[in-house]
Structures are given as structure tokens and as C-alpha cells.
Structure 1
Amino acid sequence: MSESTVRVDDPGDLIAAIPSMLSFPPTRSLVVITLRHRDVAGRDRETLIETVARFDLGPDPEGLARTAVRACIRGTDAVMVVFVDDRATPKDAQTQRRLLRMLTDGFTDAGVRVAGAWATSRIEAGEPWQAVTNPAIAGTLPDPMSGAVAAATAASGGPIRRSREEITALVALDSSAAAQLDIVLPVALDEIHQRWRLASDRGELDAIRREAIEFILDRVRDISRGEQPSSDDLARIALTVGDGFVSLVMLAVSAGEHAHAAEALWLRLTRCLRGAVRAEPAALLAYSAYLRGDGSLATSAIKAAFAADPDHPLADLLADALRDGYPHSTLRALADHGIDTATQLGIDLPRHAST
């Protein structure tokens, strides 16, 4: 989840908010919530949720602890830990406490404080939760779909999905839509190839890149108004967005005022394209999702990008960012490069202040 000023004071409320922050309810998982503190003039210091990371609970607690610490220490002041396991028994509680000690040691060595640790069998309304180190601190979970963080997530355009399988299905190929695009892509490919080759011969690549970017910007604005691009439009975008300059500017568009519409375009392209041409929209979808803090959708989109192009550079960068826990502010710097590129091409994009 991107940094949030939603205040969650009760552990039960925090645990119930996890499906909103991950975009799905985790099962048999270790969840690490990373925190960052920010000084605000004239106000008390704010605690912001920076990222939420989920790890499978497996047979290797030492390896899990090392992986979780490595992924969650970057740009972090403190973390909170939640165990979600419907198999838990009193013996498993000892295992959780042992894993918590390893996590605490690892985070402490990195200068990061473990601010709290809780456990529950599943994140559903009425389920009991308790503190890992003191079972006397306990309660029941409120409805995960009605909490403050869920409301904030929905308001920002981030849906809460029912499972990881739903997220995987979200980026799966839509065979019907792909068949429609298969019809128009060959003609579009011939036309665009000829136009770009001619522009290159004439030294007019900047002009044709500017035209391609402005065309995509117009379609993004159309989507924000509720209008949908045609198959011809999608084919044209699919065949030009892979240009390095165009793609870099699209990172800025993905972080700008029409971010939700841009993400909708990348998602639609990911669902209706086959082959290598699918990689760029899928990677841009992953970037959009990462900026929103939707790590689950970002992961699925990265997998789609790699399936289309195993060496795709943006997908590779985003995979590293997810693995190593880069804060969103780090990747947002790519959008600034995109704005600079747009300026060089004669396109004015607003520069949004980083949070």
C-alpha cells in the first residue's frame, strides 16, 4: 500500500485492514507492515504505512526471517508483524514466537524496531486475534470490508479482491478480445513500421514519438471520461508504447493526474495482446500497481511481462524492487525522468510533488 495517513489505533482494526492493503485476504502467511515517520509543521509526528509485504509460512523459519528482513528494511523506521494461519495450534504458537525472535533480531540489527506482533487464524469478521508474546492481549476482528483503511483504499481506486487467484485472473489473456486485436494488428504493424522507418530516415524520430505520446495521452483522457479505445487504437498504442522514449513518458503518465485511467489502459492491453508485444503494457501495469502499493497485482503483471519477454528491463527492475522492498518514492523517480523526456520532446506534463 502506498503511504497512508489513515489512523488505525486498535490491533484488530489494523489486522482487518490487511486485505485492503494487499488487495486480497492473505492465508497461511507472514505479513510485515513497514512504517515511516514524518514530521509535519504544527502537528504531531505522523506515522505512515509505507508498504505491506506478505510471505508464505513454510518449513524454513530461518530463511523466511532472512527474506522478510531483507525485503522490508529499506526506508523503514519500524515494522509490525501479523501471522495468519488457520492451522495454528499451541505448538505452532511456540514456532511463531521463535520466528518473531528471529525477525526481531534481524530488524534490530538493521536499526528497525518491531512495534507489535499479532496472530489470527484468518482475517474475517468475528475471528479472534491475540498478541504473539502476550496472549492476554486479544480481541475479535471487525469486518475487513468496512474498516477505515478499506474505505480509503476503495476511495483511491484500489479494489479489494477475494483471493490471489482473482488477481491472477485479472491479468489473464481475454481470448475474445485478443482475437479482435489479432485481426487489426498486422495492418497496423505494416503502417507503423513504414512511418517510423521513414521518420528515422528523415531525422524526424522526435516528431513521430511526440505524435505517439500525444495519441496515447488522448486515449488516456478519453478513458478518464468513460470512453473506451477502439481495437485500432489499442493496436496503435501496443505497437508504439514499446519505444524506449514513449515508454519512459508513460511512466510519468502512470504517476500523474490520470493514473487510474492509464492503469486501466495497461490492464486492457495486457488482457488482449499475445506474444512479445504484451510485455510493455504488462510492465507498465506492474509499475502503476506498485505505485499504488498493490504488490499482488504488480507481481502478477510482472509475471505476465516476463512470460512475454523474459529479458524485459522494466519488469526486471520492478521484480528487484519487489524482492528488495524499494519504497514507492524510489520508483516514483522514474516518473520524473519521464517528465524530463516529455519536455525534451516538446510535451508539457505536470510535475507532481513527491510525498
Structure 2
Amino acid sequence: MTTSQSPDFHLNRPGVLIAALPAVLGFVPEKSLVLVTVDRGTMGCVMRVDLADDLPVGHVAEVAATARPDSAIAVVVDEAGANCRLCNDEYRELTETLAGALAGHGIELLAAHVVDRVAAGGRWHCVDGCGSAGVIEDPSASPLAAAAVLDGRRLYARRAELQNVIAVGDPARAAALAATICNDGGRTDAEARSDVEAAIEAAAQVAGGDELSDATVARLAGALTDYTVRDTLYALAVGENAGQAESLWAELSRRLPEPWRVEALVLLAYSAYVRGDGPLAGVSLEAALRCDGTHRMAAMLDTALQSGLHPEQIRELAATGFRLADRLGVRLPPRRVFGQRAG
């Protein structure tokens, strides 16, 4: 499940709305139920779940309700079932159940559409047999797609491609690192300062195209088990070199074994969230919570993301990192002005 926000879409033009979904989700949805919430006439949270026999309709409604939208629109994406009468009966039952669950939270389901594929020329029709139908416009020509590219977001053809950004690249190598990682939390201020500086240096290396040694990766993994080090590093997400730090967290996410991987994933999720990349934040948090379902920061960010909390509010969490850096005597990159791309 992922969420995002957007200021621009058309309630009365399903072909345009559906074409905008890849830009909002970060990938082209397939075999999915997508719920677009509407708040005072504008797009709110956008949630996606796999179509399955045990589809969590009640949970989808609960998550949608956290943002307190006025209404919602459902889109069923299923190439195999879009032209199947029996399948359409099933989707009508599904959306009726969803409408009831949403109504229990004071949310009106305005419309429900079935589409065979979210691509130029794809066909949609209303689930309830109202007779409305049409063609999907080119998703790559959507204003939301253009905005995503300008924001530096990459759009993926499949959700699996987005998940590969954080997938462990060499499981055997990652497993071998486990024996070399030292979990010695409770560092002195001098040790914490050295580790923060080492992380900043490693971020510059990764951004420059250099591969980190296993020894450096192991050192950073151990450093992230120290709360002072970890919490200081959250501040990098709002600094002028945020892009370098995000590259480092993605690299560590792909190279570290569990349970050390979880901290890199949450740092990556935070970095993506504060720059408005809800899709990357979502898959990173999903992976982090699979590693450790009790991780407090991961759970808090996941709740905020699914509730549609604006990135500007999440950025304030970085203030703790700057305070810790001052205490440690670490010079962090200055805060960047948002609306400009990080270096």
C-alpha cells in the first residue's frame, strides 16, 4: 500500500484520472485496487492494494479515514477481468463492500471504474453498469508525470522495479557481513562524532560512483545501532547534500543483512518522504516493517504517510538531528531550501 498527494486531477474525466495514477504511485499498477481520496475537490491520499481473495477492504477504509476525506473514487485494474462479465459482477460486489466500509467512516464512494491497463489506449468502464466508458490518455503526458520528473522522481513500469531499488543485491555477501558488524551502542560523543563524519564521507563516495568496502559498510551498520548517531543522521535529509545521503541509505539497504538493514531502510524512507517521493518511502517502510514490525520510527512514518501528512511537517523531525550534531560538535551540511533539488 502506498500513499501520495497531488494538487491536480479531474474528478469528471476518468480517463485523465486513471492516466495520472502511475505518476502518483511511482509505478504502473497492475492487478490492483486503487482508492483515490478526495478532500474538498482535490486529490488526497492514493492507496493501492493487490487484488486478492482476502483483499483487506476494511483496512483500506480505515487508512483512508485517517486523512478525513470527503469522498473517494475506486479503480480496479485487471487486464484479464476487465471484459469478463463474471469478474465484473465480483468487482461490483467488491466496490459495494468498499462503499459500505467507507460510509462507516463518513466517506462517500463517488464512482468505481474497471480498467484493463493503465496505458495509452487502455479501456475503462464503470463497475455498476451505468454505461459510461472510455479510453485512457497517455500516462507519460500527464501533468502529474511531468511534475514528478521535474521533482527528480523516477517513474517505474512495474512495482517490482521500484522494490528492486532496495532489494538486497548479494544475499551471500550480506550474510557474511553479519559476523563483522559490531553492535556496540552507547558510544562516547567522540566515537559518535567520528561515525557521523564517516557516514557523511561515505555518502560522498557513493554519490561519486565509488563502491564502499565491506569494512566501511560493516562499520556504518554498527554505528546506526547507536541512537545518537542514527538520530543525528536524519538531519542529512533536509541538508544541501540530501541526495548524497539518500544514495548511501539505498546502498546500505541493498548490502546489509537483517536486522541491521532496517535502520538504512528507515533513513531512506525518511529522506524520500521529506522530498515528496511517497512511492519510494512507502516500499522502504514496508520492507523495514517486515524486518522489524516494532520499529517505532518506521511505524510512525508509515502512519504519517498513509494519513497523507505533508512532507513539510515531517521535515521538522530533522531538528533533533541538528541539536545532536551541535552537541557532538559535528558540522552538518546547511539546510536546503525546499522547492530546489538536493545535490
Task: Report the TM-score, using the length of structure 2 for normalisation.
Answer: 0.77
* Structure 2 Cα separation of the partners of residues 5 and 319 of structure 1: 21
What amino acid does structure 1 have at the position aligned with 2:25?
L
Unaligned runs of 5+ in 2: none
Asked if 1:68 is matched to 2:80, the reply is no
Structure-2 residue corresponding to 1:26: 29
* Structure 1 Cα separation of the partners of residues 68 and 242 of structure 2: 26
Q: Is the 8 A contact 2:5 2:45 kept in 1?
A: yes
Matches within 5 A, 1:126-205: 126-133=121-128, 135-175=130-170, 178=173, 182=177, 186=180, 205=188
Structure-1 residue corresponding to 2:103: 108
Deviation at 1:255, TM superposition (A): 4.4
1:99 aligned counterpart, secondary structure: helix
Distance change (3 Å), C-alpha of 1:174 and 1:65: closer
* Structure 1 Cα separation of the partners of residues 287 and 222 of structure 2: 21
Q: Is the 8 A contact 2:235 2:322 kept in 1?
A: yes
More off after superposition, 256-265 vs 145-154:
256-265
* Structure 1 Cα separation of the partners of residues 173 and 118 of structure 2: 37
Structure-1 residue corresponding to 2:224: 241
* Structure 1 Cα separation of the partners of residues 228 and 150 of structure 2: 32
Asked if 1:286 is matched to 2:269, the reply is yes
Deviation at 1:31, TM superposition (A): 0.3
Deviation at 1:248, TM superposition (A): 1.8
* Structure 2 Cα separation of the partners of residues 15 and 146 of structure 1: 12
Distance change (3 Å), C-alpha of 1:254 and 1:71: same
* Structure 1 Cα separation of the partners of residues 243 and 68 of structure 2: 27
1:32 aligned counterpart, secondary structure: strand
Deviation at 1:173, TM superposition (A): 2.0
Deviation at 1:266, TM superposition (A): 0.8
* Structure 1 Cα separation of the partners of residues 220 and 38 of structure 2: 38
Deviation at 1:163, TM superposition (A): 1.9
Q: Is the 8 A contact 1:286 1:302 kept in 2?
A: no
Structure-2 residue corresponding to 1:41: none
Distance change (3 Å), C-alpha of 1:126 and 1:351: closer
The correspondence for 2:74, drawn from 64, 70, 81, is 81
* Structure 1 Cα separation of the partners of residues 250 and 200 of structure 2: 16
Asked if 1:59 is matched to 2:53, the reply is yes
2:138 aligned counterpart, secondary structure: coil
Distance change (3 Å), C-alpha of 1:332 and 1:326: farther
1:240-273 CA distance string (max 9 Å, x none): 2332122223333234444433222111111122
What amino acid does structure 2 have at the position aligned with 1:21?
V
* Structure 2 Cα separation of the partners of residues 336 and 34 of structure 1: 31
Deviation at 1:326, TM superposition (A): 5.6
Q: Is the 8 A contact 1:255 1:332 kept in 2?
A: yes
* Structure 2 Cα separation of the partners of residues 310 and 2 of structure 1: 22
Instruction: Flag the structure with higher helix content.
Output: 1
* Structure 2 Cα separation of the partners of residues 26 and 337 of structure 1: 37
Deviation at 1:69, TM superposition (A): 0.5
Structure-2 residue corresponding to 1:268: 251
RMSD: 3.8
Q: Is the 8 A contact 2:36 2:73 kept in 1?
A: yes
Task: Report the TM-score, using the length of structure 1 for normalisation.
Answer: 0.75
* Structure 2 Cα separation of the partners of residues 251 and 81 of structure 1: 36
* Structure 2 Cα separation of the partners of residues 289 and 93 of structure 1: 37
What amino acid does structure 2 have at the position aligned with 1:70?
E
Unaligned runs of 5+ in 1: 38-45
Distance change (3 Å), C-alpha of 1:314 and 1:107: same
1:165-214 CA distance string (max 9 Å, x none): 323333222229947x959x94xx67x96xx88xx5xxxx3343334334
1:83 aligned counterpart, secondary structure: strand
Matches within 5 A, 1:112-127: 112-127=107-122
Q: Is the 8 A contact 1:293 1:328 kept in 2?
A: no
Q: Is the 8 A contact 2:4 2:45 kept in 1?
A: yes
* Structure 1 Cα separation of the partners of residues 326 and 5 of structure 2: 28
1:58 aligned counterpart, secondary structure: coil
Structure-2 residue corresponding to 1:43: none
Q: Is the 8 A contact 1:22 1:296 kept in 2?
A: no
* Structure 2 Cα separation of the partners of residues 121 and 173 of structure 1: 32
* Structure 2 Cα separation of the partners of residues 227 and 177 of structure 1: 23
* Structure 2 Cα separation of the partners of residues 177 and 148 of structure 1: 43
* Structure 2 Cα separation of the partners of residues 114 and 336 of structure 1: 39
Count of residues in correspondence between the two structures: 328
Asked if 1:303 is matched to 2:287, the reply is yes
1:145 aligned counterpart, secondary structure: helix
Distance change (3 Å), C-alpha of 1:306 and 1:91: closer
Amino-acid identity (%): 30
